Structure 1
Amino acid sequence: MSIGSTSHVNVVSLFGFSLEGSKQALIYEYMPNSSLDKYIYSENAKEILGWERLYGIAIGIARGLDYLHHSCNTRIVHFDIKPQNILLDKDFSPKIADFGLAKLCHTKESKLSMTGARGTIGFIAPEVYSRTFGVVSTKSDVYSYGMMLLEMVGGRRNVKSTVTNSSEKYFPDWIYGHFDQEVGLQACKVTTGIEEIAKKMILISLWCIQVLPVHRPTITNVLEMFERSLDDLDMPPKQNFYELL
């Protein structure tokens, strides 16, 4: 009922459901351009989507999350934000989908009580699998969003087991150290004229994946960061990403 009552351009619309004996189905709007992972992991993703469109998709996802976190009658924390769960319509506008792991909470609540971890390895916020990092909240979705944003920029999965150099296996750690170096932009296939877009996406993502949730921005803050110029964004503190992994 909660998902069915959502209405936002960046959240997939649930039309209804079907129950026929053992056959159960949720009926969502059709999204002709499939999911985001089909594009960002391909060899020519930047040529297919283009950096400007990729940038617009990133903002659209953030707007959808902001709606779920702050504008629904019942706050919805998704807990499984990843490229596979971002669907693209005929105009490549993104819509958040797959609420199988989502959790509801009253709008006045800032933290969630949970038993056990939920989500996808590589996108799960540290506090979701160990409460020693902090409380589980909407900022857990912000962490997942940040990890996804880095994969969109890098055009690869953040953990790459086929790389022999251990320092390059974990992309968040590598890109932080190479942020201001030409090799960093080259690795992300950044072409002339869109360096500011790529750097802004990297900076915002690194803020989102801060280990402690108290140091992460809210998704509303993320949208504000997108509106600011690159010069107005500070470099986030270095995290011990690889050791955490």
Structure 2
Amino acid sequence: MNGRTFSSKTLQNYLNSFFANVGGSPWAGVQTQYCRNVPAGTTSCAGIPGAQFVTNPKHQLKGTWTDPTPVPDDIVTLGLAQNLVDDPIAMEAMRASAHFNYDPDATYIVMTPPRTIGTGQPVYCGYHTQTTSIDGLGNPYRIQYSFIPYLNKDWIIGSCGANSVNATSNSFGNGVFDGYSIVVGHEYSEAVTDPDNFFSVQDGWNDDQTSENADKCAWYHTQNITLAGRQYAIQPTWSNEAFDAGQDGCAVSR
């Protein structure tokens, strides 16, 4: 980009550093106002007996792995319909869960190399969903996972955020990989606050139009945050708390 070559290793280092340090940050703290074990339609968890709040611990990244399994040339993905059948991304999430040992609270993020395009692109930059087992259909156990295709390609509308925050790219990856921290951060946040997509019906924190917390603020006031001395491009996520206080509902810290 701009006459410079950026390697897959540089991208991996950029994202690994982001996830190694995002836990415990004020940006990830926005999601700690949300909870489970409350009635449908709840807009605030405060004061509700039995509410189990989202936590924001440090060191959330538990490992990375490059799977030697060949990547299909044309990935046909099923998105939220994945609950009942396997697709190549769900199968990769299953392999990752076996590699790292299954954790029902984990989100397995699947990324693919250049040239691989999934059905639905360039409509989306990424998505999160789950596998589950229903009457013997689907998969043997539930996994939350996210699919992030190769983003720095002109078949993705607007390149999904490349250089959208930092116009000039540096050797760490700021600029050229802005879209990756924005999009992966988007899916990470939604997988925490709305992890279960059952029969394409989301049952976590959504608005009345089914937009999730990151959807409501997508590509709005994108900016850098600093984690462990490095900058990363991010988007705000929705905060009922801030909105109810008369502030902008799209928040970058709590």
Normalising by the residue count of structure 2, what TM-score does the alignment of the two structures yield? 0.28
Structure with the bigger percentage of strand: 2
Structure with the bigger percentage of helix: 1
